[in-house]
Amino acid sequence: MRFFSRLGPINQGLHRLLSEFFVWKKANGTLTPQGEPVFFDLMEIGTMREAEKCFYKIGVGADEARETLNAHLGPLEELARFIVAHVTSVVVGDERVLENRRFIETIDLKADSWPLETLHNRWKECASSTERWQWSFDPHVMRRFRSPRVAWRRWRSPWHARDGSVTDSRPSSSGRSRSTSPSAATRSGTWRDGSRVSYAGRITATGRHAT
């Protein structure tokens, strides 16, 4: 239970981050692939290779299963930090983010979200630091997906209003934004562009990849 109680909130925060990243790329015209399709094998990320091994550990006792899961907790948290750092590096247009120890240490894995505006401002505070962060895998493994740098402009998350409600900035047929309070019952729907939202905090895009 400890394993899943730590990964659950991280997974939810990453869903929100990647959903906002998708909207940001769309707003800046960097969503459409350029040139030929790019092949990418998730096994190029060392953490993913190690996680795959869990699938083959079958028929083990409870104690060994617990040890196996606990051994993968640290690497999965490292992968979460990498995803946040990678997204930030694309948004600010600077690969130095990926090895900036000061910035990466500020990534709070207990946070329920990492708004792009917050990550951008945090990078400005850490950019002058030269101390490097050491990963267990190549932090530039996603370089092939990088888009041309986009000039930063003030950005407000389309999902979160100041009162904590989840809001979509695109107007409904009545001309008003769709929103719901955090305590509202879970609901879901699909908009015209194919993106899908599940209210009460979990937002996904179906059939899309935001890398």
Task: Show Cβ contacts of residue 171 under 8 Å, excluding neighbours closer than 6 positions.
Answer: 177
Q: How far apart are CA 13 and CA 17, in angstroms?
A: 6
Q: pLDDT per residue over 155-174, tens digit each?
A: 666 555 444 444 444 434 44
Q: pLDDT per residue over 79-115, tens digit each?
A: 999 999 999 999 999 999 999 999 999 999 888 888 9
Q: pLDDT per residue over 176-187, tens digit each?
A: 444 433 333 333
CA neighbours within 13 Å on the CB side: how many for 153? 6
Question: Coil, strand, or helix at residue 51?
Answer: helix
Q: What is the largest CA-CA distance in the chain?
A: 57
Domain boundaries, given as residue ranges, for the chain = 2-156
Least confident of 84-88, 147-151, 207-211: 207-211
Q: How far apart are CA 121 and CA 126, in angstroms?
A: 9
